[in-house]
Amino acid sequence: MKTSNILGLFCSAFAIAAAWPIVAAAAQSAGNSDAGRTKASMCAGCHSIGGYKTAFPSVYSVPRIDGQHAAYIVSALRAYKSGDRTHPSMRAIAASLSDQDMADLAAYYAAEPAKSASR
């Protein structure tokens, strides 16, 4: 076998091995919107009220999240959980969520039609 063939085979095997955790994580994190609907009560109190502002820790306009991309919601929740995002209420809520909870919530909100902020 030529050295270039062995190198090519090695590179292909390495690429597949390196990608496997990403593929497995994506398969595991597929959200269930029905499960997300049952978990969304903790979110609805703020994120389902058009034009809602919270006063803790400062006045903050709370975004509507219906219709938002699922990947963005999961990314934001992970950032709150890790401390990369620092809003105290969201950080506390995200800390209680598993990866599956996050995926389910994201699937639910992504499937909901986007509503305007003023409703």
Q: Does the pLDDT value for residue 94 go beyond 60? A: yes
Asked if 38 and 96 sit in the same domain, the reply is: yes
Domain of 25 in residue numbering reads as 1-30
Inter-residue contact 9 to 17 (CB < 8 Å): no
Q: CB of 49 within 8 A of CB of 62?
A: yes
Is this structure's pTM higher than 0.85? Answer: no
Indicate if 8 and 62 belong to the same structural domain. Answer: no
pLDDT reported for residue 39: 96
Mean pLDDT of the residues in the chain: 83
23 and 43 assigned to the same domain: no
Q: CB neighbours of 115 closer than 8 A, spacing ≥ 6?
A: 50, 64, 66, 67
- Residues 87 and 107 placed together within one structural domain of the fold: yes
Residues 66 and 107 in one domain: yes
Q: Are residues 50 and 97 in the same domain?
A: yes
Examine the domain organization and report whether 14 and 44 are in the same domain: no
Mean pLDDT across 85-105: 96
What's the domain count of the chain?
2
Higher-confidence residue: 65 or 25?
65
CB-based burial of residue 5 (10 Å sphere; 0-12 exposed, 13-18 middle, 19+ buried)? exposed
Residues 7 and 50 in one domain: no
Asked whether residue 11 falls in the same domain as residue 35, the answer is no
CATH of the domain at 57: 1.10.760.10
Q: What percentage of the chain has pLDDT greater than the value 90?
A: 61
Examine the domain organization and report whether 43 and 83 are in the same domain. Answer: yes
